Amino acid sequence: MKFMKKAMAFGIACVMGLTLAGCGSSTGNDSITVYSRDASSGTREAFEKANDMEEMLTDAAVTVDSNGDMATKVGADPNGIGYVSLSTDFEANNLTALNYEGVAPSEETVLDGTYGMQRPFSYVTRASGDFADDRTEQLVAAFIDYLCNSTEGMQVVADAGGIVDTTKSTPWEELKANHPIVDEDNSDLTIRTAGSTSVTDTLQAALESFQSMAGNFQFTMNQTGSGDGYKRVLGEEKDGANAADIGFASREFEGEEDVTQGMESGQYCIDAVVAVISADNTFGVTDLTAEQIKGIFSGEITAWGAKVRTLVIATDEELMIARDTKEVIEK
């Protein structure tokens, strides 16, 4: 029967929620508050793809603007759950990072492939000849080389939370010979960046470390989300008020984002997406599976500590009542 098939599917989803302390109607103080990023976020895209839940986000989710905003709001909400970059300072934001499918998020588990929720930090520059001037173009090329290939740059990224293989690097002293611009006084030049908010910590650390190595240039960072990275260097906003020299995304560029137009493009590190709860959460959750995450973020699992009882469904009317009260259903 059509309704019974739906009942069985709903029951399975709730049973999988038992290990995190419940599925069903809330008792009032155990309701889960779901926090999510906006639709243009690369972090959200990576999170939803990993958990097979594209376009399934509950209407009750609270939308936040950035990785930092997510960390702040979830950390302050004992009943909240969200997701952030692995480079986030969990302790400073009062967050508990949750294991995923039994694996703790770390540099080691990302590099060895055992941690499943990971994504690239990608970049693309303006097209050659489309920078403010030749010197800026040369400086951007030097910075990209420093960021992606130099021992010093890659170590700075790693220290800021990015995941890189520093064994595949070259000392900057060797690379700089290809970039004579760095030996000039560049205090009149500015590198402008845009795109993903998740790259902020690693990108800022790299820019700051490179300044004194490249003539004390200036930089401005306008990190508003992955969807803006391409638009502001090669897309419809490349000549507008928010134009940038390098655009970043916490995902691969895709679809109409044709990065082959750029002078350079690629990825400079790997990052993990981590499900997080407040350190003040008292429900004992330490680990979530992909199915549990899907249940929570789709709205099928709505409470941390709800008691679960099984109903035996005899009629379609009883099934509809059970679905409305979000009980576990058994044929």
Q: What are phi and psi of 117, to 5 degrees?
A: -90, 90
Each residue's pLDDT, cut to its tens digit, for the chain (331 residues) gives 433 333 333 433 343 343 354 444 444 589 999 999 998 888 999 999 999 999 999 999 999 999 999 999 999 999 999 999 998 999 999 999 999 999 999 989 998 999 999 999 999 999 999 999 999 999 999 999 999 999 999 999 999 989 998 888 999 999 999 999 999 999 999 999 999 998 999 999 999 999 999 999 999 999 999 999 999 999 999 999 999 999 999 999 988 999 999 999 999 999 999 999 999 999 999 999 999 999 999 999 999 974 434 445 556 655 555 455 444 433 3
Q: How far is CA 331 from CA 9, 11, 12, 255, 326, in A?
A: 11, 9, 11, 44, 15
Q: What contacts 320, CB < 8 A, 6 or more positions away?
A: 3
Q: How far is CA 53 from CA 168, 272, 296, in A?
A: 35, 18, 11
Q: What contacts 243, CB < 8 A, 6 or more positions away?
A: 192, 232, 233, 237
Query: Would the pTM count as exceeding 0.75?
Result: no
H or E segment to which residue 100 belongs: strand 99-100
For 148, other C-beta atoms within 10 Å of its C-beta total 19
Angle at CA 225, nearest 5°, toward 220 and 231? Answer: 80
